[in-house]
């Protein structure tokens, strides 16, 4: 389902300022599937999911977490 977690400068800014995780997901993944997977995997509550397919043909999911969770902490834990 999740192929990669984006760690670009833009992705880090989104995590810090808007509490959003930026993920590369399978092209066939639906928004409800992404939401469910992220909630179970990271033990968080997801507020919303937005997706797009970039020029490389990758499906990017922008997953906004509920206020009680911190996207920056999740990214920090993934890089350790």
Stated pTM of the model: 0.93
Which CATH code is given to the segment(s) 2-79?
3.30.70.330
User: Which whole number is the average pLDDT over 16-42?
Assistant: 96
Question: Of all helices (H) and strands (E), which one includes residue 20?
Answer: strand 20-25
User: Which whole number is the average pLDDT over 20-30?
Assistant: 96
Burial class (CB in 10 A: 0-12, 13-18, 19+), 35: middle
Q: Is the CB of residue 24 less than 8 Å from the CB of residue 6?
A: yes
Quick one: what percent of the chain has pLDDT higher than 70? Answer: 98
Tens digits of residue pLDDT in 41-79: 999 999 999 999 999 999 999 999 999 999 999 988 876
């Amino acid at each position: 389902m999740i192929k990669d977690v984006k760690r670009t400068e833009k992705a880090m800014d989104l995590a810090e300022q808007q509490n959003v995780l930026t993920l590369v997901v399978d092209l066939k993944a639906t928004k409800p599937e992404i939401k469910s997977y992220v909630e179970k995997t990271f033990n968080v509550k997801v507020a919303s999911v937005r997706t797009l397919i970039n020029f490389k043909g990758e499906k990017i999911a922008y997953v906004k977490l509920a206020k009680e969770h911190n996207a920056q902490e999740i990214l920090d834990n993934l890089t350790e």
